[in-house]
């Protein structure tokens, strides 16, 4: 070991490289502290309290769930840009069918489009070998068309968000959002599955070296098929959770979440090239973005400057992460 490698900054960099989630948590703490200080200076009162926490946690959870689609697809070097459209469709169909069918059957019917988009993505990417970015952009476009046509057929019937989803989306128990009932098992399962379950490890294997995986007997197309199906179902679940939070179905419900979800995944340290990353990082990434949105709202940044800042932060954080993890 050379002198340079054992010096304090190099050791710190090495530590951060081994535990990227710790880096992200430090960043999250710094951002939250910055938010608190800004609020104290500008308004003389703190912003970070229990209400704020619950509110931000709700947003972060919706973001983290949509980012789960991006995370698991990025493990294989893919991406799912149709996720937000799928979430919107499931939410919209649920809300429009609930008055006539009741909540349970409406949700089941609403998941069918998610199934269809997942199968289409899986077929295009796994069998036809289309680039995931292009395939999911295209399937999102097709699905949007179907949503608009569907919307014209149901324009007369009212919409209603099932009470259970509203409870899940807006209710609090002991000050904590009820949505944790869904999210904690969801996150725990994903974090367990990515490292311990055979399918989760297959995703890393396919992403790290597809040829090696194929030569080891993995049927790549089946992995993609199952992966994009699961991603679409997760997107549908996100739509159900998010419509409960917003309490109003619309044609663009989850669309503003898509790019932040991709950003959360990338900030969380999942490589867009595949084979590396973790859902734990994504969750912290989603929390960082939730705090960042809060900070921008507090500073009353105009929409234009807000987008510039948002983009710059995504780029800066990713660049720092790339430096930290690729060094040496």
Contacts with other proteins, residue ranges (CB under 8 A): 120, 123-124, 128-131, 133-135, 137-139, 141-142, 144-146, 148-149, 152, 259, 262-263, 266, 272-273, 302-312, 314-315, 318-319, 322-323, 326
Q: Rank residues 108 and 322 by Cβ distance to other proteins and give the closer one.
A: 322
Q: Rank residues 35 and 135 by Cβ distance to other proteins and give the closer one.
A: 135
Strands 172-173, 176-177: pairing kind: antiparallel
> Among residues 13, 5, 166, 141, which one has the least CA distance to residue 82?
141
Query: At closest approach, how far in Å is the CB of 82 from other proteins?
Result: 11
Q: Rank residues 107 and 296 by Cβ distance to other proteins and give the closer one.
A: 296
Query: At closest approach, how far in Å is the CB of 253 from other proteins?
Result: 18
CA–CA separation, 232 and 159 (whole Å) = 23
Query: At closest approach, how far in Å is the CB of 126 from other proteins?
Result: 10
Q: Rank residues 85 and 240 by Cβ distance to other proteins and give the closer one.
A: 85
> Among residues 281, 268, 276, which one has the least CA distance to residue 191?
281
Output the DSSP codes for 145-190. HHHHHHHHHSSSS-----HHHHHHHH-EETTEETTHHHHHHHHHHH
Q: Supply the angle between the helices 20-43 and 8-18 in degrees, to the nearest 10.
A: 100
Contact, 41 vs 172, CB < 8 A?
Answer: no
Query: At closest approach, how far in Å is the CB of 183 from other proteins?
Result: 26
Q: What percent of the chain is helix, strand and coil (3-state, nearest 5)?
A: 80, 0, 20
Phi, psi (degrees; rounded to nearest 5) at 191: -65, -35
Query: At closest approach, how far in Å is the CB of 158 from other proteins?
Result: 21
Give, in degrees to the nearest 5, the angle at Cα 108 between 221 and 286. Answer: 65
Residue 215 Cα distances to 78, 218, 275, 289, 319, angstroms: 20, 7, 17, 40, 34
Query: At closest approach, how far in Å is the CB of 139 from other proteins?
Result: 6
CA–CA separation, 97 and 162 (whole Å) = 10
Q: Rank residues 47 and 125 by Cβ distance to other proteins and give the closer one.
A: 125
Q: Rank residues 34 and 302 by Cβ distance to other proteins and give the closer one.
A: 302
Q: Rank residues 57 and 264 by Cβ distance to other proteins and give the closer one.
A: 264
Query: At closest approach, how far in Å is the CB of 132 from other proteins?
Result: 11
């Amino acid at each position: 070991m050379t002198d340079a490698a054992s010096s304090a900054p190099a050791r710190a960099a090495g530590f951060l490289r081994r535990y990227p989630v710790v880096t992200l948590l430090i960043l999250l703490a710094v951002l939250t502290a910055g938010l608190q200080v800004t609020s104290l200076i500008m308004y003389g009162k703190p912003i970070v309290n229990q209400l704020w926490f619950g509110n931000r946690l709700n947003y972060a959870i919706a973001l983290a769930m949509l980012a789960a689609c991006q995370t698991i697809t990025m493990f294989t070097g893919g991406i799912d840009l149709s996720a937000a459209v799928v979430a919107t469709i499931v939410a919209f169909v649920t809300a429009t069918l609930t008055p006539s069918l009741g909540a349970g059957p409406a949700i089941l019917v609403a998941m069918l489009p998610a199934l269809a988009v997942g199968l289409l993505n899986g077929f295009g990417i796994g069998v036809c070998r289309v680039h995931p970015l292009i395939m999911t952009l295209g399937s999102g476009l097709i699905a949007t068309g179907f949503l608009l046509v569907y919307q014209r057929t149901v324009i007369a019937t009212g919409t209603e968000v099932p009470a259970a989803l509203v409870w899940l989306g807006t209710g609090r128990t002991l000050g904590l959002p009820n949505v944790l009932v869904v999210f904690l098992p969801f996150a725990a399962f994903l974090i367990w599955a990515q490292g311990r379950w055979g399918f989760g490890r297959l995703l890393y294997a396919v992403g790290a070296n597809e040829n090696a995986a194929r030569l080891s007997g993995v049927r790549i197309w089946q992995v993609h098929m199952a992966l994009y199906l699961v991603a679409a179902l997760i997107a549908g679940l996100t739509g159900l959770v998010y419509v409960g939070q917003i309490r109003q179905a619309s044609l663009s419900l989850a669309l503003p979440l898509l790019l932040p979800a991709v950003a959360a995944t990338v900030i969380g340290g999942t490589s867009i090239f595949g084979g590396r990353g973790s859902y734990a990082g994504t969750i912290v990434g989603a929390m960082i973005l939730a705090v960042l949105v809060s900070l921008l709202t507090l500073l009353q940044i105009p929409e234009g400057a807000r987008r510039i800042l948002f983009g710059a932060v995504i780029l800066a954080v990713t660049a720092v992460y790339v430096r930290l993890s690729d060094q040496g």
